[in-house]
Amino acid sequence: MEFLKDHSIQNELLLIFISVFMGTLIGAEREYRNKSAGLRTFILVSFGSCLFTILSIKIGIDNPDRIAANIITGIGFLGAGVIFKGDSKIDGITTATTIWATSSIGMAIGSGYVYLSLLGTALVLLTLSSLTYLEFQIDKNHKIREYKISLLNTEDILYCETLFKKYHLKYTVSKQQYSQENLTTIWILTGKKKSHELLIQELQNNPRIGAYQF
């Protein structure tokens, strides 16, 4: 009986070490990209989810999912903490969903489904790393950027539109602010990344542009 107990403990320790290893793989990728949640966070998420799942199975004999069911709720609060609003978009959503996925991998390990966790880890790493090239290509050919342009002459608003057409950029006006000194307009421009770079060069050397920001 004592042998069976020791054998069970060894299996559980092995599962915990596997969860730490899986969390390290995913966390290293996020750390390499300098994201808000890095190596230690993903190790602890994977390890914690695994340990809670093991405890849920051991403690909740009549109701083995009693503790494990609350892991998802806790991870939801943790994920929300890494989502923040950037200058023109919401950042941290990918990191938050990666935390959520890492938690599911830890739960799979804690339940004994090691091969399933291996597949899950491989898919997470594939999604985070290999699809970056596809995102780069999309961004290269369809870049959306917000510009804040101040004009010295308030009548030059049409001149800005001429510049955007020159570089094949689609444009919409987001907001305008008028003062006696200048007219400040926030534009949403869409086009190729190269077109944006050429526009920036034009704005830098154009005497009719008072200031710009993007």
DSSP letter for 189, please.
E
Q: What is the pLDDT of residue 87?
A: 57
HEC per residue, 128-166? HHHCHHHHHHHHHHCEEEEEEEEECCHHHHHHHHHHHHH
- The stretch 5-19 carries a mean pLDDT of 77
Please state which of the four CATH numbers 3.40.50.1700, 3.40.710.10, 1.10.3720.10, 3.30.70.100 is assigned to the domain occupying 142-213: 3.30.70.100
Indicate if the pLDDT at residue 22 is higher than 90.
Answer: yes
User: pLDDT of 175-204, one tens digit each?
Assistant: 878 776 778 888 888 988 888 888 888 888
Task: Say what percent of the chain tops pLDDT 70.
Answer: 87
Q: What is the pLDDT of residue 4?
A: 37
* CA 170 – CA 30 distance, rounded (Å): 34
- The stretch 21-50 carries a mean pLDDT of 87
Task: Identify the burial level of 180 via C-beta atoms within 10 angstroms of its C-beta, where 0-12 means exposed, 13-18 middle and 19 or more buried.
Answer: exposed
User: pLDDT of 131-175, one tens digit each?
Assistant: 777 777 777 888 888 888 888 776 677 888 888 888 888 988 888
What are the residue ranges of CATH 3.30.70.100 in the chain? 142-213
Indicate if the pLDDT at residue 130 is higher than 80.
Answer: no
User: pLDDT of 32-42, one tens digit each?
Assistant: 877 777 788 89
- The stretch 22-30 carries a mean pLDDT of 90
Indicate if the pLDDT at residue 46 is higher than 50.
Answer: yes
User: pLDDT of 71-121, one tens digit each?
Assistant: 877 787 777 777 776 555 667 788 888 899 999 999 999 988 999 999 999
Average pLDDT value over all residues in the chain: 82
